[in-house]
């Protein structure tokens, strides 16, 4: 099995299981509310047996033979998404670091993410001197992300435009990893809204959280 397909199967199968067509979820004439609750049950768009199979894949633990590392935060998607059920938020945090030069934030060498774990103790990451800006972040809930992906761009733009100017949400257009180069879409996933599709976000998380390179992120973190 290629790593590209492992990204599809491992990183966000629960979110994909919730995805249905945007015309059903959001239309210009109105919207249907997505179901809520944390019960580990299918929302009815796929069979419960298929949902359970996706959940088990989401919980699968990777090791070095499957590409884990050299630096990473978790061995499975569920390690960071399991509260109160598989696919939910996290009870653990990850560390970001860098330096403020008086005008701009300068990411830590190798990137602002400081991975907690490594396949060998000699390459364990630590915050280097001179990187005084640090913060902790928790993983976000993935349940229902299929519905978020199905929202039409114009709906998000209209919501932003309807907000008071002083608190208006920022709409950004970002590339889509699996799309034709140059194609963009309104960002909606990640702490900075830096991804517009679940596949793009899953690819990013697979590399940066589990250290597993894949079709859209070919270079290992070191």
This prediction's pTM = 0.80
Strands 93-100 and 117-118, by their bridges, are unpaired
Residue 82 located in a structural domain: yes
How confident is the prediction for the chain on average, in pLDDT?
A: 87
Residue 22 located in a structural domain: yes
Q: What percent of the chain has pLDDT over 70?
A: 86
Domain hosting residue 80, numbered range = 3-92+139-210
Looking up tokens 């280097």 gives: 128
Cα distance between residue 124 and residue 205, in whole Å: 19
Residue 112 located in a structural domain: no
Residue 107 located in a structural domain: no
Read off the pLDDT band of 29 (50, 70, 90). low
Chain segment 117-154, per-residue pLDDT in tens: 999 999 999 999 999 999 999 999 998 899 999 999 99
Residue 134 located in a structural domain: no
pLDDT of residue 176: 97
Residue 114 located in a structural domain: no
Residue 58 located in a structural domain: yes
Token digits for 119?
């396949």
Cα distance between residue 187 and residue 75, in whole Å: 27
Dihedral over alpha carbons 108, 66, 190, 102 (to 10 degrees): 0
Instruction: Indicate the number of domains in the chain.
Output: 1
Strand partners, 174: 185
Closest to 94 (Cα-Cα) out of 150, 142, 138: 138
Residue 98 located in a structural domain: no
pLDDT of residue 197: 97
Closest to 116 (Cα-Cα) out of 139, 99, 100, 132: 139
């Amino acid at each position: 099995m290629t790593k590209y397909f492992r990204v599809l199967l491992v990183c966000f199968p629960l979110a994909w299981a919730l995805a249905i067509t945007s015309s059903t979820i959001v239309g210009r004439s109105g919207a249907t509310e997505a179901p809520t609750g944390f019960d580990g049950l299918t929302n009815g768009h796929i069979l419960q047996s298929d949902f359970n199979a996706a959940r088990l894949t989401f919980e699968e633990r990777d090791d070095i033979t499957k590409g884990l590392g050299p630096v990473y935060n978790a061995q499975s998607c569920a390690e960071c998404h399991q509260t109160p059920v598989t696919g939910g938020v996290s009870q653990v945090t990850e560390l970001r670091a860098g330096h403020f030069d008086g005008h701009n934030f300068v990411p830590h060498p190798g990137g602002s993410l400081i991975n907690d774990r490594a396949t060998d103790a000699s390459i364990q990451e630590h915050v280097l001197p001179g990187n005084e800006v640090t913060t902790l972040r928790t993983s976000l809930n993935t349940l229902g992300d299929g519905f978020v992906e199905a929202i039409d761009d114009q709906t998000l733009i209209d919501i932003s435009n309807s907000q008071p100017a002083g608190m208006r949400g920022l709409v950004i257009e970002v590339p889509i990893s699996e799309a034709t180069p140059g194609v963009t879409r309104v960002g909606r996933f990640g702490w900075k809204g830096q991804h517009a599709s679940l596949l793009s976000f899953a690819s990013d998380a697979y590399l940066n959280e589990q250290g597993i390179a894949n079709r859209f992120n070919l270079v290992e973190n070191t």
